[in-house]
Amino acid sequence: MSVHNPDIKRVTTHTIQELKNKGEKISALTAYDYSMARVVDAAGVELILVGDSASNVMAGHETTLPITLDQMIYHASSVVRAVKRALVVVDLPFGSYQGNSSEALRSAIRIMKESGAHAVKLEGGLEVKESIVRILSAGVPVMGHLGLTPQSIYKFGTYAVRAKEEAEAQKLMDDARMLEDIGCFSLVLEKIPASLTRQVSQSLHIPTIGIGAGPDADGQILVLHDLLGITKDFKPRFLRRYADLSTIITEAIAHYVDDVKARDFPNENEAY
């Protein structure tokens, strides 16, 4: 029942732009490992983000801050080996690009060279402009990320909706225009009011990808483990769960344990 567009052979940043131009919504998901990335890619999403949310869902950290560049490259190279069609974008982790554009460039080049990914994403507006310009000048496509930027969680103090106040909404709009002007190919908008997403998406030419940002972004992204119901305790309003894999996996494993205990597994057909 896949609805992916069979005309798209390999998704590029240009494909993503064309989808916006013709008014077709862009589907994006995170992935962090080879096996899941194969499934996600075959199911037809156009963009796979190797998000620094790996810090949460893969490593069990409370925030995205601890994950390292080496760890992101490990996840990204596993994903790249699996993906045949989607555009693979990789998060630059906290501390690998802020405040030093030379280091930002070095980090982006390591990701591209060592993982084989197609683009990088980083969080922030004006504060990281120099880093983005430097990365773009090396020919590396950059995706921006505004609104709730989890690498700044200790500045925000909360994961609540951002840019509800006029001043913050105006800064977000200014940052979005600046990111487009300097050459970002796309922009993630996280947890902002739907009306602001509509305004930003209508005034930019590049596609916006929303998470908790309402229906008017040019595309949507979710964390794979949230969509599949593997992370059970995370229940934000914006999340739609498409499966309850946590229950399915638990039941399957409990069944296996029972079979082992009952000496039912392996049977004679499952032995040599």
Binding-site residue positions: 52-53, 91, 121, 123
From 190, 251, 268, 270, active-site residue: 190
Q: Which residue is nearest to ligand KIV (CB)?
A: 51
Binder among 46, 52, 180, 226 for ligand KIV (CB under 6 A): 52
Question: CB within 8 A of 110, min separation 6: which ones?
Answer: 69, 73
Nearest to 145 by CA among 112, 115, 175: 175
Q: Which two tokens stand for residue 178?
A: 């600046």
190 flagged as catalytic: yes
Q: Report angle CA 193, 196, 200 to the nearest 5 degrees.
A: 140
CB 209 to ligand KIV: min, Å: 7
Nearer to ligand KIV, 1 or 160 (CB): 160
CB of 211 to ligand KIV, least distance (A): 5
Residues numbered 60-99 forming contacts with ligand KIV, rule: CB under 6 A:
91
Chain CA centroid to CA 150, Å: 12
Dig out the tokens for 10 from the structure.
């390999």
User: Interface residues for ligand KIV in 28-47 (CB under 6 A)?
Assistant: 30
Q: Is 171 exposed, middle or buried (0-12, 13-18, 19+ CB in 10 A)?
A: middle
Among 47, 184, 211, 217, the residue binding ligand KIV under the rule CB under 6 A is: 211
Binding site for ligand KIV (CB under 6 A): 30, 49, 51-53, 91, 188, 190, 211, 221, 223
